[in-house]
Chain A
Amino acid sequence: MPVPEHHEFFIDPNRCIGCQACVQACAECDTHKGHPMIHLEYIERSESTQTVPVICMHCDSPTCAEVCPADAIKKTPDGVVQSARKPRCIACNNCVYACPFGVPKMQTDFDLMMKCNMCYDRTSVGKKPMCATVCPSEALFFGTREEVEARRTRSRPVNEFKFGRQTITTKVNMMVPKASTHEHVDVTSQMQGEGRRLRLNVLSDSLYEPGSA
């Protein structure tokens, strides 16, 4: 069964409180038992305790799949980019180094790349992914567009990301301020200098937007 079209994933890294619940829940997923696929990353540990949960963004044109020499990474018709197919993956690491979001993980022991597959065993039967069910701050939210709009009155979802000159569109959305005029998130703007300073939203009132509790 495909993932229902009206159910979408919305990520809001600024809301992450680093509780690790998503990591623990992820390891419970039946498709990669015992191995969390989510990355919970400190953004700049020397500056802040702020963390970011990174899941697979399920790109429309997945670079990981395109650079795979074994043709092991497949996207389902409903747009979910799956883990490498076990008979084919030759553990070359190309996908790990090529993913613009830094998502795939190489399981060296198994000679196998594994990655977030949006808990396909759950989402394909209408349930939420494990991480989204346990995230207390809704940094990871899975639901309808209407639900997220009601909860984030000052945010809107975007699914377009810039990496240098490359634009990547994704199945997963990121919440950005409604007031922002940008139609995409420019990731490479954060290389260094001014852009590298931590500018987060966590201590502002936006965490507790009306209706978000």
Chain B
Amino acid sequence: MRKEIVKATTAGVLATLLLGALVLIGSRRLQNFDAALVAYTFATVFAVFGVVYRYAMWIQRPPTAVYFRRGWQVFLNPKWLGRNTIELSKRLVSGFALNAFIWRRGKARWGAHWLIMWGCLIAAAITFPLVFGWIHFEAPLNEFDKYTIFVFGFPTITLPVDSFLAFMIFHGLIWSSFLVIAGVMLAFRRRMRDHGAAALQQFGEDILPLLLLFAISITGLAIWASYKFMGGYAFTFLSVTHAATVIFTLLWLPFGKFFHIFQRPAQLGVAFYKDVGESMPPAKCARCGEGYAPQMQVDDLIEVQRRLGYTYEMESESGADHYQRICPRCRRSMLALAQGSLWYQAREHESVV
């Protein structure tokens, strides 16, 4: 078995065992574990193994490995750690909480992503701790109009059942469903009307995730509507359907578009890498002498290309040892000059200077 696969499998197994241990500890040896949710738990355990396995494989790819290592190196470097920490908080707000970069790509795209993202985050923050038995509710002794929220078996706040805060907390999944459904509608609208999106989208990569999110949200809402307004009509059917949609999504999490949730934080490491690279003298083009890229990135790219099996090594009068040391603009000019040179040779020195 390849070394990378062994490492990734080990990481996946360790993460799965860790989750199992946390479920045991957090639910106080399954005392607070809701057996009705056991299918969700097993689907999550599989998803954790799959996500960690794929993540471990991903960060072992030569370019990813270099960035992963470099990102942490530059972030933790004492020289820049203070500045990096301040920048990190700014980037977490603008990039992750607000999705500012998606706003600049398009307002409709931003609206769809922001609503789906927050809907999913809220839902995940409620669902997973409930499924793992990390959170449960108990009425205090002889106070049946109140609930105490227990986290990892420890009592936290106690609140009246009919208070506004309780209403908001107990309906958290309803609010998240509304956010996700609105976001999915916006996303589908764009995908149906935008010719560019229509040309490039793929069912598995772009449509299926939206269908799954919609199915989870609408069946979740239907469960609520069933017990709240319809006297439990079709409750069992709706519960099973909802569970099926959630479990399918969890099992599919490591393979499809949702994996970008775990890849995306790499953007932070890259931003610090770029910050440091730009604060240093740039690499100068071996042909025109102009600065064109951070020297650190050029050197890293040469190493990455070698590890990938590319042989861009070269010899030239300028002393450039690698094609990577030529700026993109010169590469474009050289392409045309190379074609002109062939015409020149073919025409036996008929040149235009």
B61 contacts A71, CB within 8 Å?
yes
Known contacts A102-B329, A163-B314, A187 near B335 by CB under 8 Å: yes
Q: Which of A14, A109, A124 contacts B336 (CB 8 A)?
A: A14
B63 contacts A87, CB within 8 Å?
no
Known contacts A101-B331, A180-B342, A164 near B337 by CB under 8 Å: no
Q: Which of B194, B314, B317 contacts A193 (CB 8 A)?
A: B317
B196 contacts A33, CB within 8 Å?
yes
Q: Which of A88, A100, A179, A187 contacts B346 (CB 8 A)?
A: A179
A13 contacts B336, CB within 8 Å?
yes
Report chain A residues within 8 Å CB of B104.
Answer: 109-110
B331 contacts A165, CB within 8 Å?
no
- Interface centre among B58, B196, B263, by most chain A C-beta atoms within 10 angstroms, is B196
A111 contacts B329, CB within 8 Å?
no
A13 contacts B335, CB within 8 Å?
yes
B351 contacts A199, CB within 8 Å?
yes
Interface flag for A153 (CB, 8 Å): no
Report chain B residues within 8 Å CB of A91.
Answer: 267, 270
Q: Which of A29, A39, A63, A177 contacts B342 (CB 8 A)?
A: A177
Distance A103 CA – B332 CA, assembled complex (angstroms):
8
Stretch in contact with the other chain, from B10-18, B135-143, B298-306: B298-306
Distance A188 CA – B332 CA, assembled complex (angstroms):
11
A94 contacts B297, CB within 8 Å?
yes
B335 contacts A90, CB within 8 Å?
no
A187 contacts B267, CB within 8 Å?
no
Interface flag for A201 (CB, 8 Å): yes
Q: Which of B105, B304, B323 contacts A166 (CB 8 A)?
A: B323
Interface flag for B35 (CB, 8 Å): no
Report chain A residues within 8 Å CB of B95.
Answer: 111
B329 contacts A69, CB within 8 Å?
no
Interface flag for A208 (CB, 8 Å): no
A69 contacts B66, CB within 8 Å?
yes
Distance A99 CA – B332 CA, assembled complex (angstroms):
10
Interface flag for A6 (CB, 8 Å): no
B199 contacts A97, CB within 8 Å?
no
Q: Mark B205-225, 1 if CB is under 8 A from A, else 0.
A: 000000000000000000000
Instruction: Give chain B nearest CB distance to A122 CB in angstroms.
Output: 8
Instruction: Give chain B nearest CB distance to A139 CB in angstroms.
Output: 10
B196 contacts A32, CB within 8 Å?
yes
Interface flag for A140 (CB, 8 Å): no
B352 contacts A203, CB within 8 Å?
yes
- Interface centre among A121, A190, A196, by most chain B C-beta atoms within 10 angstroms, is A190
B317 contacts A191, CB within 8 Å?
yes
B323 contacts A100, CB within 8 Å?
yes
Q: Which of B263, B293, B304, B320 contacts A67 (CB 8 A)?
A: B304
Residues 173 to 201 of chain A near chain B (Cβ within 8 Å)? 174-177, 179-180, 182, 185-193, 195-201
Q: Mark A64-103, 1 if CB is under 8 A from B, else 0.
A: 0011111100000000001000111011111011111111
Interface flag for A41 (CB, 8 Å): yes
A29 contacts B196, CB within 8 Å?
yes
Q: Mark A9-36, 1 if CB is under 8 A from B, else 0.
A: 0001110100000000000011111000
Q: Which of B199, B318, B345, B353 contacts A192 (CB 8 A)?
A: B318
Closest to B100 in A: A111
Q: What are 24 A-B pairs with beta-carbon distances under 8 A?
A: A14-B343, A43-B336, A71-B64, A71-B263, A87-B257, A88-B263, A92-B270, A93-B293, A101-B332, A102-B330, A102-B331, A110-B101, A110-B104, A121-B195, A165-B311, A174-B335, A176-B339, A187-B331, A188-B316, A195-B341, A198-B340, A200-B336, A201-B343, A204-B350
| A residues at B contact (CB < 8 Å) | 12-14, 16, 29-33, 39, 41-44, 47, 50, 52, 54, 63, 66-71, 82, 86-88, 90-94, 96-103, 109-112, 117, 120-121, 124-125, 161, 163-166, 174-177, 179-180, 182, 185-193, 195-204, 206
